Copies of this chain bind each other. A is one copy, B any other.
Amino acid sequence: MEIRLLIADDHPIFLKGLKEVIEMDADLKVIVSAKNGQEALLSFQSHSVDVVVLDIDMPRMTGLEAAEKMLHIQPDLPIIILTMHKEKAPFLKALEIGVLGYVLKENAVSDIVHAIYKAKDGELYLSPEISAYLLKKTSALQRQSKNDLKALLTPSETHIMKMISEYKSSKEIADELFISEKTVSNHRMNIAKKLNLTGKNSLLRFALEQRWG
């Protein structure tokens, strides 16, 4: 049975190579090749395909954005994300969107066909070495940088930072710790200075982005 594919990548040579690798499997047929997310989304709406393969880094619209929009239109669409980077954020984002495959480009030749068949059956596929490496590595790195930050702040400041990340107001923090709001305010200011943060909600923002909780 033939599987019809839409593929997208902004590098023409890679795109051509990808098409050839995929079509070495007799049952896989690349119906559309797009060179950015926007084009992929438009093509998707005018062609009937079984599986979509998207690069993340593309001009006009990233693969993740395109994936999100496609799944909005057709929630059970099997989508596979290709990427060069071993970063954690796009990986988690991809899972969150509801993508069925996440494959690193360096391993793509062997993994991509496997991922396509898995995705076609509604199963999840992540290139194993890659995802494991990525998860362990980056969570360790993240812990490291969090430790660095905690070393920069005093114990009280760290404590208050944690409470900020729990959406507590200065008044609530002051009441819980039996100290004056003024003291909390001073701590906030000292933290902001140490971390070079300015502007409204900058502390809350930082606390949330660094997953302080």
Q: Check: A197 CB closer than 8 A to any chain B CB.
A: no
Q: Give chain A's interface secondary structure class.
A: helix
Inter-chain CA distance A129–B201, complex, in Å, is 41
Residues of B within 8 A of A14 (CB): none
- This chain's copy number in the assembly: 2
A169 contact from B92, B138, B167, B200, Cβ within 8 A: B200
Contact with B along A57-73 (1 / 0, CB 8 A): 00000000000000110
Inter-chain CA distance A128–B71, complex, in Å, is 21
Contact with B along A66-109 (1 / 0, CB 8 A): 00000110011000000000001000100111111000000000
* Of listed A92, A97, A167, A205, residue having the most chain B CB within 10 A: A167
Query: How many residues on the A side are at the interface (Cβ–Cβ under 8 A)?
Result: 35
Q: Can you list 28 contacts pairing A with B, beta carbon distance less than 8 Å?
A: A71-B140, A71-B143, A75-B139, A76-B136, A76-B140, A92-B92, A92-B96, A97-B139, A98-B135, A98-B138, A98-B139, A98-B140, A98-B143, A99-B135, A100-B132, A100-B135, A100-B136, A122-B132, A123-B128, A123-B129, A124-B126, A124-B128, A124-B131, A167-B201, A167-B205, A169-B200, A201-B201, A201-B204
Instruction: State the A residues within 8 Å of B (CB).
Output: 71-72, 75-76, 88, 92, 95-100, 122-124, 126, 128-129, 131-133, 135-136, 138-140, 143, 167, 169, 200-201, 204-205, 208, 211
